[in-house]
Amino acid sequence: MNEISIGLLGLGTVGSGVVQIIENHQDKLMHQIGCPVKVKKILVHDLKRERAIKVDPSVLTTDVNDIISDPEIDVIIEVMGGVEQTRVHLLQALKNKKHVVTANKDLMALHGAELLTVASENNCDLFFEASVAGGIPIIRSIVEGLSSDRITKMMGIVNGTTNFILSKMSKNGAAYEDVLKEAQDLGFAEADPTSDVEGLDAARKMTILATLGFSMEIALDDVSVKGITTITEEDIQYGKQLGYTMKLIGIAQQDGDKVEVSVEPAFLSDAHPLASVHDEYNAVYVCGEAVGETMFYGPGAGSLPTATSIMSDAVTVMKNMQLGVNGKSAVPPQYPKKLKKPKEMFSKHFLRLHVSDETGVFAEITSLFAENNISFEKILQLPVKKREVAEIVLVTHHASKQDFDDVLVRLNDLKSVKTIKSSYRVERGSHQ
């Protein structure tokens, strides 16, 4: 093969990084693949727009068919985002025998199974390492590095925006709204941050990780999702007093043949490796029966880190082309999907209440927990400036989600309970 031609869909932050790597690392690519690699066409919205990098104007096009229907283009790299229209383009590209590399987590979470099937039918590669955790090679590690192991749990900080916000809230004692504005000003948060702060972005990534890690076809609707918008400075400060750090955590856990997948704010023991992951960084903690505990850490976004993951996939595709083994790597899910019920999901729980400051109230509350087989690991009881109101902060021992949710319903019915201020999952430290 004299040359491998790439078609690039999108020339934003990540697309520019891809072009930079191909241009600046051509000697490395030549050594790995055995021939030159060239970007033949790039799809853009506006031909005249000023760009961060210089490209030959003749390479740019606004017509996607100039790329997906060009017989000389071997590999398509998709970094333009979007779901439905992008799905149509990539399906057509695969049917036209183009190999595809994408960074599109939304697309892969919703339509990954369909795209992988079509890729396999057409003997094409479809890789998507950059769709989860930017520059961290987590998908390759799960699919290849841990392929012989049985993964029991994956737990990660997979959204840099929310980690930046929670890190700042914790460090500076600042309010959520103030830190969100700072994140937007710095470019870490979008003008509309909903996808990030409500946990949807992380949920899409956990859908992909759970499907691959457990070899089960997990859907986005199977993920329980809660965002960070209701977290207060008080919650974070109480957590600190108890030895915890607040993070938005994606959790995928398998016990026996059943799994649970969630994204939610959780208190991590300060001893947990993920508790020390700050600002916009990502990390994924993976437990396997054979390997034990491993953690993957690095930049979760950014032009060159993400482009590095994309080009890692592209190099694999191009090596496969030289070997004539494209389309052989996709492995369909091995197991039928079995989701846990709430009574089968266990964790510790943090709970903060405002109650009447009267004799017998605490006994009434502890009795209610005892009736649901829930005991306490930690308790704080503090007066509130408002007269006749006390604040109680509890951390339970391991309890089922069903039992804990039942207690919350019953607490709401007690006259002595003024307000349930907050409740969060609590994750213990490593080896605890």
Residues with a known catalytic role? 205
**Residue type for position 361:** V
Helices 200-214 and 105-121 cross at an angle (nearest 10°) of: 30
d(CA 341, CA 330): 30
First to last CA, the chain: 54
d(CA 129, CA 132): 6
For the chain, percent helix, then strand, then coil, each to nearest 5?
Answer: 40, 25, 35
Structure tokens at 336: 């039928």
d(CA 319, CA 324): 8
What is the number of other CB atoms lying within 10 angstroms of the CB of residue 121?
11
SS3 21: helix
* CB proximity list for 94: less than 8 A, separation 6 or greater: 100, 115, 118, 119, 122, 124, 126
248: nearest Cα among 177, 197, 181: 197
Pairing of β 126-127 and β 60-61? unpaired
SS3 63: coil
Which residue shows structure tokens 């400051």? 357
Specify whether the CB–CB gap between 19 and 53 falls below 8 A.
yes
d(CA 293, CA 314): 29
d(CA 45, CA 106): 20
Specify whether the CB–CB gap between 49 and 15 falls below 8 A.
no
d(CA 399, CA 101): 43
14: nearest Cα among 140, 137, 130, 188: 130
What phi, psi does 215 have (nearest 5°)? 50, 50
SS3 413: helix
